[in-house]
Amino acid sequence: MAPWGLSGQLDGLRQQQLYRSRQVIDGPQGAHVNIAGTQFDNFSSNDYLALANNPEVIKAFKQAADKYGVGSGSAHLICGHSAEHHALEEELAEFTGRSRALVFSTGYMANMGAIASLVGKNDEVFQDKLNHASLIDGALISGAKFKRYPHGDLKRLGQLLAQSSSKKKLIASDGVFSMDGDEANVVELASMAQQSKSLLMIDDAHGIGVLGQRGGGLLEKLGLDQQQVPILMATLGKSLGTAGAFIAGDDALIETLIQRARSYIFTTAMPSATMAATRVSLRLCQQETWRREKLAALIAQFRRGAEQLGLQLIASTTPIQPIVLGSNQAVMLAAERLKKHNILVGAIRHPTVAKGSERLRITFSAGHTEEQVDHLLSALEGMG
Ligand SMILES: *Cc1c(COP(=O)(O)O)cnc(C)c1O
């Protein structure tokens, strides 16, 4: 690869402390994880409801593997769409109060496929600057005009909409922002979308399971229906503890995605066992409300403690509680120090977040104990 100069570029990343490497986890996800024989308190995963290693979910996975085997064999439109995929879609539609739902293999693919199916060259997409990469990439591959507004700046969005002469307009936003943990003002977005005759798409990857009485996410919490938010996307690999994602909306939307979404059509369907496991985790998510209550208590405990330590928090009530440190060096050093206390947190750098807003991304799970949060707080003392 010498002619491409890759080694030199990699050295450059190392010098700027932007080099990324993977840690090899040995064992299941949970409030603790093992790395090379050492146990860490895990404050870095998105397994908010502690369902990724739940015995009932695992049992459903195993039973479905016995019944359906491991591989789905082909794409959904050929012969890969099983009774488990179908049943999960019906249950997700019911759960979100939408007419229908369509399961994708990943959230990344759901966002890319949905946006590119709905808008094209003569259309325009409007997005919050802090939206997830998959929403941004979906807008880019769609070929539509693409406008981004500063985080949460709906006044600016209003100006951009007013300036637009495009016939088809799509507004897309994270529901809960993945690196900040704050919530989009979806009530206002819905009303702006209605006024400007735009389509509204909300990516609730971090709200589903966590927000709302039944865990239906930000839209359940705000009481927004399919009329107000016609395109809802959420993932299965975070709160629901498995893998994949879905888009929910009306019949015409879902049928359009089945005909057009390239990331749906040209890929092998997920294993049926993953779908069967998700059906159980979806039930647990709704029934076991103690998971959301416990999570809320742990988040409150953390915020109280962090404020006492003088740490600068973001206005987030979700399990995502970042501490912005502002440089690669500071954030890498802080994560290293926490690791010495056997605590794992995400050290988030550019391009995941803007330069100067490098942060520790601390996340909570219903599987954590109060003692673990106390331990985290004492390790954070003197940082930030
Ligand atoms: C994680 C995430 C995705 C991507 O979902 P995957 O299933 O991991 O591909 C999309 N949007 C947001 C906001 C996310 O946080």
Which residue owns the Cα nearest ligand 1 atom 10? 107
Average pLDDT, the chain: 97
- Report whether residue 134 contacts ligand 1, using a CB cutoff of 6 Å: yes
Distance CA 223, CA 243 (A): 26
The structure tokens 């799970």 sit at 365
Q: Per-domain residue ranges for the chain? A: 20-50+289-380, 55-287
Which of these, 237, 383, 221, 189, lies nearest to 317 by C-alpha position? 221
What's the whole-number mean pLDDT along residues 94-114?
Answer: 98
φ/ψ region of 197 (left if φ > 0, alpha if ψ in -120 to 50, else beta) reads left
For residue range 232-288, list pLDDT tens digits in order.
999 999 999 999 999 999 999 999 999 999 999 999 999 999 999 999 999 999 999
Nearest CA to ligand 1 atom 6: 107
Question: Over the stretch 19-37, which tens digit does the pLDDT of each residue have?
Answer: 999 999 999 999 999 999 9
Residue 384, pLDDT above cutoff 70 = no
**Which residue out of 206, 221, 294, 368 is catalytically annotated?**
206
What is the per-residue pLDDT for 104?
A: 98
How many CB atoms within 10 Å of residue 169?
23
- Widest distance between CA atoms in the chain: 60
Counting from 1 in the atom list of ligand 1, the atom nearest the Cα of 243 is 7
Ligand 1 pocket, 174 CB below 6 A? yes
CA 66, 68, 74, 75 torsion-angle sign? negative
Q: What is the pLDDT of residue 197?
A: 97
Q: Do domains 20-50+289-380 and 55-287 have the same CATH topology?
A: no
Q: Catalytic: 59?
A: no
Tell how far the Cα of 30 is from the centroid of ligand 1, in angstroms. Answer: 19
C-beta 242 within 6 A of ligand 1: no
Residue 235 CB less than 6 A away from ligand 1: yes
Domain 20-50+289-380: what homologous superfamily? Aspartate Aminotransferase, domain 1 (3.90.1150.10)
Lowest pLDDT segment from 125-129, 195-199, 329-333, 379-383: 379-383
What is the pLDDT, as a whole number, of residue 4? Answer: 87
Q: Is 178 among the catalytic positions? A: yes
What is the number of other CB atoms lying within 10 angstroms of the CB of residue 305? 17
Q: Is the dihedral of CA 258, 222, 126, 197 positive or negative?
A: positive
**Which CATH number describes the domain made up of 55-287?**
3.40.640.10
Other beta carbons within 10 Å of 67: 13
Is the CB of residue 175 below 6 angstroms from any atom belonging to ligand 1?
no
